[in-house]
């Protein structure tokens, strides 16, 4: 079996390639970034630098594949999403061209990585949010830019299944985090950003940290190992509609800082930037459908995942110093 992973040089893609290789699959790993900029490069994979938003490149990398995991997208944390709406929307070129290429190549199964940003914003205005079930994506009012592209591409995957017989599967990721990913530069997400800030305090570089918003906004965060397992099971499974893939452990941003303080053994001074991008007020994953379908749900606790994430980021900062 030949399995293609687009976005393989990214955080989730690198971990997914590693797991697929462990299963014995032949993996074609593709990313637009130069190999030196990939987070993980696996020698036993077929590593290709290509632009999947280009129809010629998309067809070349899809040729001869049995399965495709399409993770390629221009995205980052909330700061990037809110300030680069057009760039996020342009990911529709990758979504479109990879589906067309998969159809033309006769690829049997196609996975699309969507996001919890597709959910209706009116259902996410309270920190004590009711967990979002799959039906809450409609009527459509997703995150501007990034969320609209994801919701549109979900529908496109559905119609390619209906019209062309490709077994498309869609997961709505909820805030994936872990080691071997972005932790600075503007595209990092909250767990990595806060781990870096607390590590800098622990190393004596600064006394305090800045928190975007008042810190009382709520989210759930899924550790990368749960994400990879769920991704592979969703593609292999028979459920055809989009499904949540996330942890149901709801925390405030302030509570996540509390956890990181305990891991690092420090107390940090907190300042709050109320003008910074912070997204919706509350968001959590309703895992009812996922659990009914696959018999488990993401369960690695935030504390356990942050211990591993913080340790890796701390080591990276120490090595730089």
Residue % of the chain over a pLDDT of 90: 96
Q: Let me know whether 49 and 168 are in one domain.
A: yes
pLDDT score of 4 more than 90: yes
How many structural domains is the chain composed of?
Answer: 2
| Token pair belonging to 5 | 């992973």
pLDDT band for 78, please (50, 70, 90 cuts).
confident
Q: Let me know whether 28 and 89 are in one domain.
A: yes
Q: Let me know whether 13 and 35 are in one domain.
A: yes
Last-in-domain residue among 193, 210, 245: 245
Q: Which residues span the domain enclosing 267?
A: 180-219+249-320
| Token pair belonging to 302 | 């935030």
| Token pair belonging to 281 | 């007020």
For the segment 21-68, what is each residue's pLDDT rounded down to a tens digit? 999 999 999 999 999 999 999 999 999 999 999 999 999 999 999 999
User: What pLDDT does residue 75 have?
Assistant: 87
Q: Let me know whether 205 and 236 are in one domain.
A: no
With the C-alpha atoms ordered 179, 181, 184, 190, is the resulting torsion angle positive or negative? Answer: negative
For the segment 187-208, what is each residue's pLDDT rounded down to a tens digit? 999 999 999 999 999 999 999 9
> Long-range CB contacts (< 8 A, 24+ apart) of 27-33?
27/2, 27/3, 28/2, 28/3, 28/4, 28/61, 28/65, 29/5, 30/4, 30/5, 30/6, 30/61, 30/72, 31/6, 31/7, 31/72, 32/72, 33/9
Q: Let me know whether 215 and 106 are in one domain.
A: no
Greatest C-alpha distance within the chain: 59
User: What pLDDT does residue 321 have?
Assistant: 85
How many CB atoms neighbour CB 105 within 10 A?
A: 20
Q: Let me know whether 228 and 102 are in one domain.
A: yes
User: What pLDDT does residue 304 have?
Assistant: 98
| Token pair belonging to 238 | 């028979």
Average pLDDT, the chain: 97
The whole-angstrom separation of Cα 245 and Cα 249 is 13
User: What pLDDT does residue 117 have?
Assistant: 97
User: What pLDDT does residue 76 have?
Assistant: 86
Q: Let me know whether 211 and 200 are in one domain.
A: yes
Q: Let me know whether 203 and 239 are in one domain.
A: no
Residue % of the chain over a pLDDT of 70: 100
Q: Which are the catalytic amino acids?
A: 146
For the chain, give the number of residues: 321
For the segment 232-285, what is each residue's pLDDT rounded down to a tens digit? 999 999 999 999 999 999 999 999 999 999 999 999 999 999 999 989 999 999
Q: Let me know whether 99 and 194 are in one domain.
A: no
Q: Let me know whether 210 and 310 are in one domain.
A: yes
Q: Let me know whether 264 and 137 are in one domain.
A: no
pLDDT band for 77, please (50, 70, 90 cuts).
confident
Q: Let me know whether 76 and 202 are in one domain.
A: no
User: What pLDDT does residue 302 have?
Assistant: 98
> What CATH number does residue 312 fall under?
3.90.25.10
User: What pLDDT does residue 253 have?
Assistant: 98
> What CATH number does residue 228 fall under?
3.40.50.720
């Amino acid at each position: 079996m030949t399995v293609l992973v687009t976005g393989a040089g990214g955080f989730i893609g690198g971990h997914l390639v590693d797991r697929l290789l462990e299963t014995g699959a032949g993996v074609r790993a593709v990313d637009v970034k130069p190999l030196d900029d990939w987070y993980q490069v696996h020698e036993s994979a077929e590593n290709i630098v290509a632009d999947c938003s280009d129809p010629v490149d998309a067809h070349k990398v899809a040729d001869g594949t049995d399965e495709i995991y399409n993770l390629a997208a221009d995205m980052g944390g909330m700061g990037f999403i809110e300030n680069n709406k057009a760039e996020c929307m342009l990911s529709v070129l990758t979504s479109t061209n990879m589906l067309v290429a998969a159809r033309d190549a006769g690829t049997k199964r196609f996975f699309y990585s969507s996001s919890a940003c597709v959910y209706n914003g009116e259902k996410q205005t309270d920190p004590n949010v009711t967990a979002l079930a799959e039906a809450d994506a409609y009527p459509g009012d997703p995150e501007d830019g990034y969320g609209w592209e994801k919701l549109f591409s979900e529908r496109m995957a559905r119609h390619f299944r209906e019209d062309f017989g490709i077994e498309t599967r869609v997961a709505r990721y909820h805030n994936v985090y872990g080691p071997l990913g972005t932790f600075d530069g503007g595209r990092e997400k909250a767990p990595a950003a806060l781990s870096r800030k607390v590590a800098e305090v622990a190393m004596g570089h600064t006394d305090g940290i800045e928190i975007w918003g008042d810190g009382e906004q709520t989210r759930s965060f899924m550790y990368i190992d749960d994400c990879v397992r769920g991704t592979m099971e969703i593609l292999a499974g028979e459920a055809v509609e989009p499904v949540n893939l996330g942890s149901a452990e709801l925390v405030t941003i302030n509570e996540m800082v509390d956890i990181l303080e305990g891991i690092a053994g420090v107390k940090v001074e907190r300042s709050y930037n109320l003008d910074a991008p912070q997204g919706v007020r509350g968001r959590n994953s309703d895992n009812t459908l996922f659990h009914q379908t696959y018999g488990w749900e993401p369960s690695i606790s935030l504390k356990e995942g942050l211990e591993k994430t913080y340790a890796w980021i701390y080591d990276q900062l120490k090595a730089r110093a």
